[in-house]
Structure 1
């Protein structure tokens, strides 16, 4: 059976599909005793509201936000929008492909090729050995290529971590040509590695969610731990190079108030922080412009991550 996506639902359709439960609220009837369940369901193409009129208390108790749910419903028009009149909503316990529910970044095949070319371009044999070892591990490589770079702000897509890391590393390669005093290999390697902890910080099911490790440690600490364990497996890895790479991971947010344990203390670390910020902001501005609701307006609505409206004219 062909999967049904949110953006395909039209009033009058019978809906039988699988969606992510984004929001649930138990609300009272206005003019009668009892409650109904209001939900927001979603997939990679968008979201749709739904109402369950019977058995609302029981359904609300057994479902939680983030569940993947099988829904049977009738699509109706309400206040100019599509709404689902739900007949049944049941949690799906089987393994589901997160690509149904979370959009994927574009150009993933090209990003993988760029990653391998950047690693191969390293002249420092210890750095090349370290990155080759790390990215030759099947489980880590697959996780790195699928992970998002964030839960909501920048590159919050399947494969977002790969695209963000490669873009920052390519920018680092270009910047190093203009600053000959910078260690090009160190800067490029640090750029590839700076967010590796995000393979442990996030999991993808119906949405991008933080793991327990992500909540308790965060990607900076997790990334430093991952990197240090990988360095231990490279024979005679220089101690000063180890300390520099670890510092680049723990300082790449740049400021203490941005959860950076240390501020950048040498040139390559400082450049990495700026390049990381550059790519994150470029993605947020471009996505804000592309995703604005009123395409006829030259302005977006308020963009939380940027704390401003964005001009698109």
Structure 2
């Protein structure tokens, strides 16, 4: 039997497949002793509610949110939606492809090509050597090109970090001609590198999760540490250029209240902050409009990351 994706499940369907366990809650029966287990299951196409009526306490004790689970169930109609009546739910311990559970960013091949073009276009020899040194390492490049740029707010997709970084760098390349005082190569290189610490901040399995390093340090600190080690691998790298690149990573969030250790202190750092914010917010507006629950409405519901509703017409 072929596995059904969430968006293919309809009432009456027999479901056998693997899902990410997004949430679970043990609840008491209303009119009888005992409990049932309410779960939210998800894959890259969406989420579906499920109920395990027998063996709920035992299942609750061996499962946790974030697990990948193998489920056997019958899909039924409930309150105008589809719900799974679960017969079996077991933690899956085998090799997992995150692409089954987390959507992938679009334009990945285009972004990969553009990244290489931007690196090749650098004329400052030390910046070009540094980025070539970083991205020529196959293991790191593969991790960078599959990493998300966030857990939920913007570019929270496989490959989201690559697309976000390249979009910011391309915008930097376009805007720099209007600011004659800006160093084009420094701005483009800083844009490519500004979120480099997110390779260490996130891991992907059934969902995008923060690593221990992400929780304890965050991507700004991780990015500074990573970049300083990479700079040490480029003989003769100028001290002032090192400080500027490290400052651009340190200050790209722009404001102390946005967990930025420093505010931008020179033109390229200030431009990078604005371009990073621009791309992040553009993605949040676009995804909010595309994902609104009521397709006939001109408005989304409340969008947490933007702190507002979004107009869609």
Question: TM-score under structure 1 normalisation?
Answer: 0.99
**Aligned counterparts of 1:149 and 1:29: Cα–Cα separation in 2:** 41
Root mean square deviation, CA, Å: 0.6
Q: Within 5 A, what are the aligned runs for 1:52-67?
A: 52-67=52-67
Structure 1 runs not aligned, ≥5 long: none
**Aligned counterparts of 1:308 and 1:255: Cα–Cα separation in 2:** 20
Q: Deviations over 1:197-238 (max 9, x none)?
A: 000000000000000000000000000000000000001000
1:207 counterpart = 2:213:
no
**Aligned counterparts of 1:9 and 1:96: Cα–Cα separation in 2:** 21
**Aligned counterparts of 1:291 and 1:177: Cα–Cα separation in 2:** 36
Q: Within 5 A, what are the aligned runs for 1:147-186?
A: 147-186=147-186
SS in 2 for 1:308: coil
Q: Deviations over 1:231-280 (max 9, x none)?
A: 00001000000000000000000011111110000000000000000000
1:198 counterpart = 2:198:
yes
1:95 corresponding residue in structure 2: 95
1:40 corresponding residue in structure 2: 40
**Aligned counterparts of 1:171 and 1:311: Cα–Cα separation in 2:** 25
1:233 corresponding residue in structure 2: 233
Question: TM-score under structure 2 normalisation?
Answer: 0.99
**Aligned counterparts of 1:163 and 1:206: Cα–Cα separation in 2:** 21
**Aligned counterparts of 1:298 and 1:84: Cα–Cα separation in 2:** 32
2:248 corresponding residue in structure 1: 248
**Aligned counterparts of 1:253 and 1:139: Cα–Cα separation in 2:** 27
Q: Give the conservation status (yes or no) of the 8 Å contact 2:3–2:16.
A: no
**Aligned counterparts of 2:131 and 2:189: Cα–Cα separation in 1:** 8
1:78 corresponding residue in structure 2: 78
1:123 counterpart = 2:123:
yes
1:222 corresponding residue in structure 2: 222
Q: Offset at 1:2? A: 3.5
**Aligned counterparts of 1:217 and 1:148: Cα–Cα separation in 2:** 17
**Aligned counterparts of 1:9 and 1:3: Cα–Cα separation in 2:** 10
SS in 1 for 2:126: helix
Q: Give the conservation status (yes or no) of the 8 Å contact 2:74–2:84.
A: yes
Structure 2 runs not aligned, ≥5 long: none
1:281 corresponding residue in structure 2: 281
**Aligned counterparts of 1:305 and 1:203: Cα–Cα separation in 2:** 21
Q: Offset at 1:95? A: 1.0
1:22 corresponding residue in structure 2: 22
Q: Offset at 1:3? A: 3.2
Q: Deviations over 1:276-300 (max 9, x none)?
A: 0000000000110111011111011
Aligned length: 313
**Aligned counterparts of 2:286 and 2:182: Cα–Cα separation in 1:** 30
**Aligned counterparts of 1:6 and 1:295: Cα–Cα separation in 2:** 19
**Aligned counterparts of 2:164 and 2:39: Cα–Cα separation in 1:** 33
**Aligned counterparts of 1:10 and 1:117: Cα–Cα separation in 2:** 46
